[in-house]
Structure 1
């Protein structure tokens, strides 16, 4: 359960009228001006398939690495970040004193993972205390204590989140837990999903056998049946995006009245959040139905389920047979990945998850150029100004709603590169000979950290991503946009590239994150992050008409035979993409107004290079099984649709590439969706 989006100082900076000049001191990484024109597909018309026009030859010649689900800039930058972090980890192992207390912690955590011989020698023994705790459960009260404890699976998750009513304070929240497969893999008809379910049943039995759990076959049947029952009552990913329906605040007594089968007071007390004056009951109808399943399912089955899930969820930290079994099902079968990643790469990922900000602090000191932060700040303010003009010039928004939208826009808080302060991990106990224990203790450390913050005002300086993460996000509960250091690299941001390309790439990414503040979810939150309505009924209706039209467009795209994009599931991201590109284009026009119209380069105008920058940023090639999983579970559209689905709604793209009726992507002007 995730209550607010995470992909992607209240700003008092004056809005800039014109874009800054981007410093160009050397050769861009991609091509002669920031775009790799050798990636273009000869013979493809931009109006028929713009993504292939920009990236088709690259896709033809690019092989997805055997240990990856995809290829493209995100993967390239993630690999670069991993290599940089590995250099830091190796140095910490040699010179821990140079990095303070965190250096030894990080070195020991990484060493515990890399000690394959020790992990094999210990066998399944590290599991014993955790499985013994499950085995010792004598009643459903004790079972619910485990549900609310760190490291154990649960049908009902307990979380801490900023309050919807007062985002300066924290609230407790409960919602549906995760299953052993994505919900739709249990429910979708067809041979492909029948095969997934059969493979899952085999995996459930196998992972128990590896742990020495008796009667694994019969238990596997009961476990899969239990998860199937839970899947049938859980909310879909699309339903879980509906903020209005998610928002069901209850007292503990109210929770008890709706789902009396659960001991809510006990679970909330175990989780340490029973002092919350109210609890957000997310996915309420699912929790009501899960309560009935909880009551009807024998205690023994729940214990078997918890034991299986504990082993499966932590198989990566156990001997190779466990690790391989988990990889074979989740990566090879579900995602189509043929080879396991090198161990050091997975170790970097693990350390980033456990001690990410300590690693990030060292990463920023060594790899992050401060001049990138200055240029990004200027770009962000230009995008803000472009959004301001678009909102002021909106033909469908009435004056009252327009005024409120501008207040929210002005309150956007950008964060760039890295946190102002980093998490102190000194109380986390790390043992070089206990990787499983390190992971469990890390989870408990994070929980205790959240509990320490719970009674205090929300700390707006906290980050949901580490600096070494190749991503960005918008948080509607704080009205903040965040751009970690690792994404501020080519092809997204290159200080040596043509400005048009930077505006089409990182400019559109900035615009995308700003756009989340005005998408179908973010638009329900005000300038301080409070859930509040700042729309008049007419403006809300007009907004709904336009967003429904955009969702309808994406519903028609079919990236896999028989599998179309879910327009409602991806609506927020698609709104972000469309608004981001249009706002970035407006900001680029401001740049040209101040610095002169971009000259023709390689026969390409500035406007053409802008859209090429956007297309190149989404140069992604995916495995079929991974794409299937994305279509079912991910609110982001596949890369081809992120490019083609956006540009066909942007009037400037038609003019830049002379798109005409008869071209496959052509939409008549009245069919094009314009929101911001």
Structure 2
């Protein structure tokens, strides 16, 4: 789902059909346990033309975008509440005397104190990074620069060749090394295309930001910002777009590591990999052309420029942990210019965020002990099985899929496993050394630990029980390599799951989210993996064409939506998430309907039928405000569509929604009466 004040900018009407006005629900403000607050409704809006505006209009007015946020909605509010709970846990631990060295409590307490000790941070200045800056300064040739770049990547400092370790897409029982692109300050190559006026402005601000940071650090380089921007822009032209990276077949290029020397002979791969402690005979390359063109460009780049770039990445990466003269400009550029945030959070809030990133699992263990009921875990398991059963029925009813492909789809759905709440086995973090008064050393200790943990998985069997998210995370995930979905305890709370709410609200929220993750196994990407999690075609050619024709219609539908003046939704970039949203909603609705087969359908609550409340639950899960900067960033780079389009987008395709709200066909030229039905 993975899973992000100016609502006036979000005026595009997404649902392109009208609604009967003869019958209006009796709307009254309520404060009960029904699971939905009717005071959030703006009854001046037509639910059939803008369901987000109708269901959440007053909520948006009551909840303007906080100055510290770039987006503010149900996810962010629940994350704030979870962090407040973590704060209480940390405060309690910090009061304990004589904490045992390397114990989880000691690690948590000491890391937190080191972040809060701003006096020591100011006093130390850049000195905790002195040795790393000296390593860069002492580089005498291209090979030495490659070595230093590899060493710094162990600390989390970006370079132009990124790596990850995960299951081999064609042999998901074993982990393998993947090598890809990275290292851009602006994050995505689209920001370096100067044909767009806003990118030209962003270029100037990036250059100015780098110059300011270099001056604060006392570095004497002339025009560092312009030099670094030019290098990054040249490399951005070589990188694949986010859309191209979605092609799992073209970006899977498995080869012996020795083959890299033939593709990119001007780069010492042995030095680069050894500097990171990577030992392997095989790797998967994201883009062969990028590796060759990149290393040719780097070899031609003056050594002074390469050192300038690496010094910048080191400074920028650690800026949040440095004195205010570094951390404040870093926030101003990356959070204000890029994301639209007006103010920094309090130091305590930032400390919890950084602590969670560093020691999220030990914190998560304490979180679930205090805030997650085992009975909820059992109830979620039962809900998942209900959704899985309905999905089997939906597969059987598909008119566009043959019986042979249906049999494979059933097999994959049956084989899917689920992780709920928290891991059964907690990882051991005792190898992380956390020291008083040494924030950057602590950050580095955590980074090196996780880097070593990661590379030690290369060429080893995949642990299908491993969690890649902390239990307090407000999100859910599907892993195509293990054919499993994960629902952390952090999201299994109101407004996503509320054990006090009626079934309709819960089905519209958490059950739709569960259905969303299950549907990812059958979206345009997940559907290329078989029941075992291997990249393997299990479709007939005709069925695949039928599926792609349906997804193409849905891509075109979203392409027509203008998310911001002059900037449309990228239907192809967002198609996986859009398929999952439509599938999740459809599954959840029919699972709810099925649940009423053996019991009396409930009477309306606060004037709304169970069908209507189902969709109110969906809208409540995605309500939110967003800054113009963050909205632009999401439209350009995020595989998820922004808030209001996520609410409204799939509803135009659902007959169930139109029936629930008495919507009817008004303009046949602008409305697909039947709607697009994929799963």
TM bin, normalised by shorter chain, reads: over 0.9
> Residue 191 of structure 1 is aligned with which of 161, 184, 197?
197
Query: Is the alpha carbon distance of 1:631 and 1:665 closer, same or farther for their aligned partners in structure 2, counting shifts above 3 Å?
Result: farther
Cα 1:144–1:632 shift into 2, 3 Å: same
Q: CA 1:666/1:646 → structure 2, altered by over 3 Å: closer, same or farther?
A: farther
SS at match of 1:173: strand
Match of 1:87 in 2: 88
Mapping of residues 3-42 of structure 1, within 5 Å: 7=3, 31-42=32-43
**Pairing partner for 2:112 from 103, 106, 110:** 110
C-alpha distance in structure 2 between counterparts of 1:141 and 1:639, whole Å: 47
Q: Does 1:258 align with 2:260?
A: no
Which residue in the other structure is 1:289 paired with? 293
Is the CA contact 1:47–1:664 (under 8 Å) kept in the aligned structure 2? no
SS of the residue 1:453 aligns to: coil
Q: Distance in 2 between matches of 1:528 and 1:6?
A: 23
Indicate the residue corresponding to 1:436 in structure 2: 440
User: Which of 400, 403, 408 is matched with 2:407 structurally?
Assistant: 403
- SS of 1:621's equivalent in the other structure is strand
In structure 2, distance between residues paired with 1:353 and 1:552: 38
Q: Which residue of 1 aligns with 2:123?
A: 121
The separation in 1 between residues aligned to 2:345 and 2:244, in whole angstroms, is 34
- Give me the whole-angstrom Cα distance separating, in 2, the residues matched to 1:30 and 1:281: 55
- The verdict on how the C-alpha distance between 1:463 and 1:96 changes in structure 2, with shifts beyond 3 A counting, is farther
Which string of whole-angstrom CA distances, capped at 9 and with x for unpartnered residues, describes residues 53-104 of structure 1?
Answer: 1111111232111101122111111111111111111111112668981100
Instruction: Find 1:655's aligned residue among 647, 651, 659.
Output: 659
Partner of 1:12: none
Alignment match, 1:336: 340
Aligned-residue offset at 1:341: 0.8
> Residue in 2 aligned with 1:161?
166
Query: Which of 666, 671, 676 lines up with 1:673 in the alignment?
Result: 676
Q: Is the 8 A contact 1:158 1:271 kept in 2?
A: no
Distance 1:123 1:309 in 2: 17
CA contact (8 A) 1:6 1:474 kept: no
Please give the alpha-carbon distance, in whole angstroms, between the structure 1 residues aligned to 2:496 and 2:146.
46
Residues 666 and 432 of structure 1: is their aligned pair in 2 closer, same or farther, counting only changes over 3 Å?
Answer: farther
Q: Distance in 1 between matches of 2:231 and 2:126?
A: 26
Deviation at 1:366, TM superposition (A): 1.1
- Is it true that 1:180 corresponds to 2:193 in the alignment? no
For the 8 Å contact 1:48–1:665, the answer to whether it is kept is no
Once residues 642 and 506 of structure 1 are traced to their aligned partners in structure 2, the CA distance between those partners, rounded to angstroms, is 15
TM-score, structure 2 as length reference: 0.93
Distance in structure 1 (CA, Å) of the matches to 2:361 and 2:627: 32
Q: CA separation in 2, counterparts of 1:118 and 1:77?
A: 33
Q: Secondary structure of the equivalent of 1:168?
A: strand
Q: Does structure 2 retain, via aligned residues, the 8 Å contact 1:40–1:56?
A: yes
Query: 8 Å contact 2:176–2:459 — kept in the other structure?
Result: no
Structure-1 residue corresponding to 2:66: 65
Quote the residue 1:501 is aligned against.
Answer: 505
Greater Cα offset, 180-189 or 434-443? 180-189
Tell me the equivalent position of 1:249.
254
Residue ranges of structure 2 left out of the alignment (5+ in a row): 5-28
Aligned with 2:447: secondary structure?
Answer: helix
Deviations 1:387-422 (A, max 9, x none): 111111110011111111111101111111001111
Structure 1 distance, partners of 2:606, 2:669, is: 25
Equivalent residue, structure 2, for 1:221: 226
Distance in 1, matches of 2:408 and 2:670, equals: 35
Q: How many residues are paired up?
A: 650
Quote the offset at 1:333 in angstroms.
1.0
- CA deviation digits over 1:143-169, x for unaligned, max 9? 222232312321111221111121111
Aligned to 1:388: 392
Matches within 5 A, 1:276-315: 276=281, 278-315=282-319
Post-superposition offset of 1:254: 2.4
In the superposition, relative to structure 1, how do residues 146 and 329 fare at CA in structure 2: closer, same or farther (>3 Å)? same
Q: 2:513 matched to 1:544?
A: no
Task: Note if contact 1:6-1:464 (Cα within 8 Å) is conserved in structure 2.
Answer: no
Residues of 2 paired with 1:458 and 1:664: CA distance?
A: 52
Q: Which residue pairs with 1:412 in the alignment?
A: 416
Given that 2:257 and 2:280 are in contact with CA atoms closer than 8 Å, whether structure 1 keeps it comes out as no
Query: In the alignment, what sits opposite 1:47?
Result: 48
Q: Which residue, 207, 211, 230 being the options, matches 1:201?
A: 207
The answer as to whether partners of 2:390 and 2:591 remain within 8 angstroms in 1 is yes
Q: Secondary structure at the match of 1:314?
A: helix
CA distance in 1, matches of 2:2, 2:403: 31
Q: Distance in 2 between matches of 1:629 and 1:187?
A: 14
Quote the Cα distance in structure 1 between the aligned partners of 2:601 and 2:290.
56
**Which SS does the other structure have where 1:419 is aligned?**
coil
Which of residues 609, 613, 630 is equivalent to 1:609? Answer: 613
Corresponding residue number in structure 1 for 2:25: none
C-alpha distance in 1 between matches for 2:324 and 2:420: 40
1:577 maps to 2:578: no
Q: Does the residue aligned with 1:505 lie in a helix, a strand or coil? A: helix
Which residue number in structure 2 is paired with residue 21 of structure 1? none
Shift of residue 594, structure 1, vs aligned partner: 2.2
- Residue in 1 that maps onto 2:10: none
Q: Is the 8 A contact 1:503 1:610 kept in 2?
A: yes
Q: Structure 2 residue aligned with 1:564, among 568, 584, 603? A: 568
Paired residues of 1:186 and 1:228 also in contact (CA < 8 A)? yes
Give CA-to-partner distance per residue, 1:567-587, whole Å, 9 cap, x none.
111111001100000011110
**CA–CA distance in 1 between the matches of 2:437 and 2:333?**
28
SS in 2 for 1:593: coil
The alpha-carbon distance between structure 1 residues 522 and 188, as it changes in their structure 2 partners (threshold 3 A), is: farther
Deviations 1:586-616 (A, max 9, x none): 1011111122222222221111111111111
Deviation at 1:29, TM superposition (A): 11
Tell me what 2:425 maps to. Answer: 421
1:131 to 130, 133, 137: 133
TM-score by length of 1: 0.93
Q: Give the structure 1 partner of residue 241 of structure 2.
A: 236
How many Å separate the matches in 2 of 1:238 and 1:397? 27
Matched, 1:268 2:269: no
Structure 1 residue 188 displacement after superposition? 4.8
Inter-partner Cα distance in structure 2 for 1:7 and 1:665:
34
Q: Summarize deviations over 1:215-238 as a string: whole Å, max 9, x none.
A: 2x4222211100111111111111
